[in-house]
Amino acid sequence: MTTAGSDRRAVIRDSLGVGVATGLYGTSFGAVSVAAGLSVAQTCALSLVMFTGASQFALVGVLAAGGTPLASALTALLLGSRNTLYGLRIGPLLDFRGGRRVAAAQLLIDESTAMSLNRPDRTLARVGFVATGLSILVLWNLFTFLGAVAGEALGDPKTYGLDAAVGAAFLALLWPRLSDPVNRGVALAAAALALVLVPFTPAGLPVLAAGGVALLVGLLSKHEDPTEFPEAGG
């Protein structure tokens, strides 16, 4: 089966659209991160090295709330584990080997996964993955830098409500998963548990402990739960 040039162009066009939309919200990460007390350089290093939005927001959010660096790193890593899940699913479809796999791995995020799933052949899956991942990598880092510089120029984050923006960002990241009733129950239980623990545990721990709800429900529930993938452009 050959891939027609027009199919390829259509996939690239869609991928760039998702790339621009996602890359732009690097601005909010940059602003939130310097508001949390990280320097512009540390903020940019996160976008370049970690390059997975939810984990980045989690790391700076836990630090801003007074959590230890270790708790912030663990939260980021736990959230980053969903990329492993995506990789296990789309790895055989993309079939990158050797050096190309080592390079492609950095591009493995929600959006690149969404844009390579359900393609009719390997070529189109790879085109969707690389075009989406690369465009986001470039734009996310550029807009992180701009957001960080702007955030630093603004001064006290509370004046501009940037501390309130962090909760909004997490809700927006969670939103697509809330259509499932089991997920809604887990979300409510995890939020409640974290709040109950806030007065009694060091900052950062309530969030990690809430991860235990996922463990418990996963172990006890019997129902089928097919892997959820992000929607493209979400």
Partner 1 sequence: MTIWLTVIGAGIGCYVLKLAGLSLPPRVLEHPVVERIADLIPVALLAALVAVQVLAADASLVIDARLAGLATAFVLLLVRAPFLVVVFGAALVAALLRLWG
**Shortest CB 7 distance to partner 1, Å:** 24
In this structure, the number of other CB atoms found within 10 A of the CB of residue 122 comes to: 15
Closest listed residue to residue 142, CA positions, set 228, 35, 24: 24
C-beta closer to partner 1: residue 138 or 178? 178
**Shortest CB 28 distance to partner 1, Å:** 4
**Shortest CB 5 distance to partner 1, Å:** 27
C-beta closer to partner 1: residue 12 or 147? 147
In the region spanning residues 109 to 148, those forming contacts with partner 1, defined by CB under 8 A, are: none
User: Among the residues of 175-204, which ranges form H helices?
Assistant: 181-197
Pull the structure tokens for residue 136.
């986001």
Contact flag: residue 219 with partner 1 (CB under 8 A): yes
In the region spanning residues 32 to 71, those forming contacts with partner 1, defined by CB under 8 A, are: 38, 42, 45-46, 48-52, 54-55, 57-59, 61-63, 65-66, 69-70
In the region spanning residues 73 to 112, those forming contacts with partner 1, defined by CB under 8 A, are: 73, 75-89, 91-92, 94, 96, 101-102, 104-106, 108
24, 29, 35, 40 alpha-carbon torsion, rounded to 10°: -80
Express the helix, strand and coil content of the chain in percent, nearest 5 each: 80, 0, 20
**Shortest CB 216 distance to partner 1, Å:** 9
Phi, psi values for residue 108, rounded to 5°: -80, 95
In the region spanning residues 151 to 190, those forming contacts with partner 1, defined by CB under 8 A, are: 158-175, 177, 182-183, 186-190
Stretch that binds partner 1, among 11-19, 118-126, 134-142, 220-228 (CB under 8 A): 220-228
Burial class of residue 43 in the structure, from the number of CB atoms within 10 Å of its CB (0-12 exposed, 13-18 middle, 19+ buried): buried
